[in-house]
């Protein structure tokens, strides 16, 4: 293997890995010096001249000329008689530069050098990927789905780097196949077995924030600021926004005419409901807005507890709580308060219509209860479990869950 072929093969490898010329030259010089050091015991007297672009390599070893028979270290010294064969006017005490061919080191050393260089370049590439994506955490990334497994997907970026999208970071309802283009954000960069592992996400708040910046020019330009985002991926999200220009309506700008601007974001998030809220420093008002679409009657902050009591008309309670309690949970996360909901005038209400429990009891179960003449909570409780089993097609476990929900209303 001659020097030209050796350098050519490394130059091709350099192009594939997209390593800059200066860095590649530094790596080449380092491994060649290591080879000389291994063979001669030192590389202090070695000059390595490399031109990666042309594939040129020169190794020069500098030695001191000494009298014949007085050589103590062949790696550093040369006899006068040998020096005169190179150039006739050399004298004792002068320094001579001797060119060394790579093939002189033997095939084994050359193969070891090649492997060493490949390892160095691969380590350098890993470091470059780590540094690149460490600086991109939270940024939007578009990649190609390359492989799909049960617990994760392999995504390729534009340079062919392998990125991971775990199942836990995918939106429920996400469906992709090999070759699809996918948008994500860089969630974090881990080190696994000395290799960088780039983790992507579609469920983080940062992903939704980047989509808003992409779709809403006022946010991209800084006229509107996103103060906070909370979300249950694939279900519901709440976004608090604030405008620094009184002439710009932050909510209207984000939603757009007939929802035109936000429609693309909702579609990307698999029809996730997005509530855009006008941010305010007034905590009570913020809580009222956060509980949208429910209309809040009044808010009472419980000092030094981080709790807020919210009073609503009975018809608004189910809206405030939301399906599975999602609306009130997200409102709590957005405002930083633990919210308790109360019906206005609850002390005067003797019974509650079954429709009020639509977010806690499935509609077909309510229909089954109404079919036997039960249209209120107390009418169901009055029948009791045994009669409910006999008169409906509901399972024991379902009836237990219904009774638990209804009883808690009056406790």
Cα(52)–Cα(36) distance, integer angstroms? 19
Laid out side by side, the sheet with 296-302 consists of 296-302, 307-312, 338-343
Q: Does residue 41 register a pLDDT over 80?
A: no
Cα(114)–Cα(117) distance, integer angstroms? 5
Q: What is the model's pLDDT at position 1? A: 39
pLDDT tens profile 157-173: 998 899 999 999 999 98
Q: What is the model's pLDDT at position 10? A: 53
Q: What is the model's pLDDT at position 218? A: 93
Q: What is the model's pLDDT at position 2? A: 47
22-36, 63-77, 296-310: least confident range:
22-36
Between residues 139 and 81, the one the model is more confident about? 139
Cα(71)–Cα(75) distance, integer angstroms? 10
What are phi and psi for residue 244, nearest 5 degrees? Answer: -95, 0
| Domains 136-203 and 352-410 alike in fold | no
Q: What is the model's pLDDT at position 13? A: 53
Q: Are 280 and 290 in contact (CB under 8 A)?
A: no
Cis peptide before 329 (omega within 30 of 0): no
pLDDT tens profile 232-260: 999 999 999 999 888 889 999 999 888 88
- Domain range list for the chain: 3-126, 136-203, 280-349, 352-410
Q: What is the mean pLDDT of the chain?
A: 84
Give the CB-side neighbour count of residue 268, counting CA atoms within 13 A. 21
Q: What is the model's pLDDT at position 116? A: 77
Q: Are 140 and 175 in contact (CB under 8 A)?
A: no
Give the CB-side neighbour count of residue 209, counting CA atoms within 13 A. 18
Q: What is the model's pLDDT at position 21? A: 66
Between residues 318 and 100, the one the model is more confident about? 318
Q: What is the model's pLDDT at position 391? A: 82
Q: Does residue 186 register a pLDDT over 90?
A: yes
Cα(283)–Cα(360) distance, integer angstroms? 28
Structure pTM?
0.66
Q: What is the model's pLDDT at position 189? A: 93
Q: Does residue 30 register a pLDDT over 90?
A: no
Q: Does residue 346 register a pLDDT over 60?
A: no
pLDDT tens profile 309-337: 999 888 788 888 888 888 999 999 999 99
At 303 the three-state DSSP class reads coil
**DSSP string of 202-240?**
SSSHHHHHHHHHHH-HHHHTTSEEEEEEEEETTTEEEEE
> Which CATH fold would you assign to the domain 3-126?
N Utilization Substance Protein A; Chain:P; domain 4 (3.30.1480)
Q: Does residue 85 register a pLDDT over 50?
A: yes
Between residues 317 and 216, the one the model is more confident about? 216
pLDDT category, 273, cuts 50, 70, 90? very high
Q: Are 202 and 174 in contact (CB under 8 A)?
A: yes
> Which CATH fold would you assign to the domain 352-410?
DNA polymerase; domain 1 (1.10.150)
Indicate the DSSP class of residue 245: S
Angle between helices 326-335 and 283-290 (to 10 degrees): 150
Q: For the domain with range 280-349, which CATH number is right: 3.40.50.280, 3.40.47.10, 3.30.300.20, 1.25.40.20?
A: 3.30.300.20
Q: Which residue has the tokens 């997200």?
A: 330
Between residues 91 and 296, the one the model is more confident about? 296
Q: Does residue 98 register a pLDDT over 80?
A: no
Q: How far is CA 86 from the centre of its chain?
A: 63
pLDDT category, 20, cuts 50, 70, 90? low
Q: What's the token pair of residue 150?
A: 């049960």
Cα(201)–Cα(209) distance, integer angstroms? 13
CATH code of the region 136-203 = 2.40.50.140
Residues of the chain with pLDDT > 90, as a percent, come to: 37
Between residues 100 and 218, the one the model is more confident about? 218
Q: What is the model's pLDDT at position 23? A: 72
Q: What is the model's pLDDT at position 53? A: 58
Q: How confident is the model over 42-59, as a mean pLDDT?
A: 70
Containing H/E element for 318? helix 314-321
């Amino acid at each position: 293997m001659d020097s030209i072929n050796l350098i050519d093969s490394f130059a091709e490898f350099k192009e594939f890995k997209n390593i800059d010329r200066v860095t590649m030259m530094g790596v080449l010089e380092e491994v060649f010096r290591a080879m000389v050091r291994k063979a001669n015991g030192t590389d202090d007297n070695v000059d390595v001249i490399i031109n990666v672009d042309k594939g040129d390599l020169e190794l020069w070893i500098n030695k001191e000329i000494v009298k014949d028979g007085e050589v103590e270290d062949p790696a550093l010294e040369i006899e006068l008689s040998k020096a005169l064969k190179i150039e006739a006017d050399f004298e004792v005490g002068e320094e001579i530069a001797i060119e060394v061919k790579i093939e002189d080191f033997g095939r084994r050393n050359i193969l070891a050098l090649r492997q060493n260089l490949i390892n160095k370049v691969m380590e350098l590439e890993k470091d470059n990927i780590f540094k690149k994506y460490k600086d991109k955490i939270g940024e939007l990334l578009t990649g190609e789905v390359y492989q799909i497994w049960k617990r994760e997907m392999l995504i390729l970026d534009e340079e062919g780097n392998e990125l991971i999208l775990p199942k836990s970071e995918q939106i429920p309802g996400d469906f992709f196949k090999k070759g699809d283009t996918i948008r994500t954000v860089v969630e974090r960069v881990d080190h696994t077995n000395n290799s960088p592992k780039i983790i992507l996400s579609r469920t983080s708040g940062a992903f939704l924030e980047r989509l808003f910046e992409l779709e809403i020019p006022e946010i991209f330009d800084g006229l509107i600021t996103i103060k906070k985002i909370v979300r249950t991926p694939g279900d519901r999200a709440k976004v608090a926004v604030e405008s620094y220009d009184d002439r710009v309506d932050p909510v209207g700008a984000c939603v757009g005419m007939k929802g035109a601007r936000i429609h693309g974001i909702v579609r990307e998030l698999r029809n996730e409901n997005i509530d855009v809220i006008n941010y305010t420093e007034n905590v009570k008002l913020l809580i009222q807005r956060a509980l949208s679409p429910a209309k809040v009657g009044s808010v009472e902050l419980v000092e030094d507890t981080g709790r807020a009591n919210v009073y609503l008309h009975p018809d608004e309670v189910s809206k405030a709580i939301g399906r599975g309690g999602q609306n009130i949970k997200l409102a709590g996360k957005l405002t930083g308060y633990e919210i308790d909901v109360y019906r206005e005038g609850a002390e005067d209400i003797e019974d509650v219509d079954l429709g009020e429990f639509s977010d806690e009891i499935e509609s077909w179960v309510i229909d089954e209860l109404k079919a036997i003449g039960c249209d209120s909570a107390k009418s169901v409780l009055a029948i009791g479990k045994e009669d409910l089993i006999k008169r409906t097609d509901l399972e024991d476990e379902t009836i237990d869950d219904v009774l638990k929900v209804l009883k808690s209303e009056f406790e």
